[in-house]
Amino acid sequence: MTIGETVPVRAILRITGADRRKFLNGLVTKDPAPGGLAWSALLTPQGKYLADFFLLDRDEETLLDCAAALAPALLQRLSMYRLRAAVGIEPADIPVTRGLGPVPDGAFPDPRHPALGWRAYGRDGGGPEVDWDAIRVAHCIPETGIELVPNESYILECGFERLNGVDHRKGCYVGQEVTARMKHKTELRKGLVTVEVAGEAAPGTEIAAGDRAAGTLHTRAGDRAIAYLRFDRAAAPMQAGDAVVTWDGNQPG
């Protein structure tokens, strides 16, 4: 039997009503498939990240699974957009479980990457702990509040396209115009990559290339880390505090 662990600091918003699918379609970067799990985001009108979440669409409701720290502001903003739509939004006390290995009955593959296993709703977990940060670093998968910063991050720089978090064919949503422009009219000059780190440097340490700012170090696992880099300044070995940071020039894929 596959047993997962309960995911800490998550919150569930339950979205109900006849208009809920249309309501979400006009707001989020990726719609849930009926009976499936989607990773999606809400952006500002200027195209900046506000929150990311999982969406699970069921017969009478859609569950929105987000970081607990973002839930109050997200509930407030969704309620603001609701206007006269036949939509109800309320917190729900539903545990979230995740795990690796075969997907158990009633669970769903994590839509971001196969290495992240599965998620389930409505069951408590008690399985062995997993080093999720090491998995994220290996595959350059951003985390809410660490690599993904509200009102600062752009989702294409953070890998949402590669990680199935944005649908460029779904039509308009909040921030869609800026996201589409970044996709079709510009080459990304900055973004998240996995780097090698030799020496001591805490997450959040600024990365420098000579006397020029080159980025920021984020989640670290052993001698590797996720970093947000300016690609044009990252060709040579860089410094992050007392550590040497190197990037092989490859984009996550």
pLDDT band of residue 1 (cuts 50, 70, 90) is: very low
The predicted pLDDT at position 7 comes to 84
Res 2 pLDDT > 70:
no
Q: What's the pLDDT tens digit per position in 108-151?
A: 999 999 999 999 998 776 666 889 999 999 999 999 999 999 99
Q: Which domains does the chain have, with CATH numbers?
A: 5-132 (3.30.70.1400), 189-246 (no CATH)
Confirm whether pTM is higher than 0.85: yes
Q: What's the pLDDT tens digit per position in 164-219?
A: 999 999 989 999 999 999 998 778 999 999 999 999 999 999 999 999 999 999 99
**Cα–Cα distance for residue pair 125/47, rounded to 1 Å:** 36
**Cα–Cα distance for residue pair 133/29, rounded to 1 Å:** 25
The predicted pLDDT at position 126 comes to 65
Res 249 pLDDT > 70:
yes
The predicted pLDDT at position 73 comes to 96
Describe the strand order of the beta sheet including 118-121 as a list of residue ranges.
Answer: 5-6, 96-99, 118-121, 108-109
**Cα–Cα distance for residue pair 168/27, rounded to 1 Å:** 13
CB 144, CB 10: distance < 8 Å: no
Q: What's the pLDDT tens digit per position in 69-99?
A: 999 999 999 999 998 899 999 999 999 999 9
The predicted pLDDT at position 3 comes to 58
Strand ranges, E, within the chain: 5-6, 10-16, 37-43, 49-57, 62-67, 88-92, 96-99, 108-109, 118-121, 190-198, 206-209, 212-221, 224-230, 238-240, 243-246
Angle, vertex CA 154, rays to CA 167 and CA 197, nearest 5: 115
The predicted pLDDT at position 6 comes to 82
Q: What's the pLDDT tens digit per position in 22-40?
A: 999 999 999 988 778 999 9
Res 103 pLDDT > 50:
yes
> Which of 63-67, 186-190, 249-253 is the least confident region?
249-253
DSSP 189: -
The predicted pLDDT at position 56 comes to 97
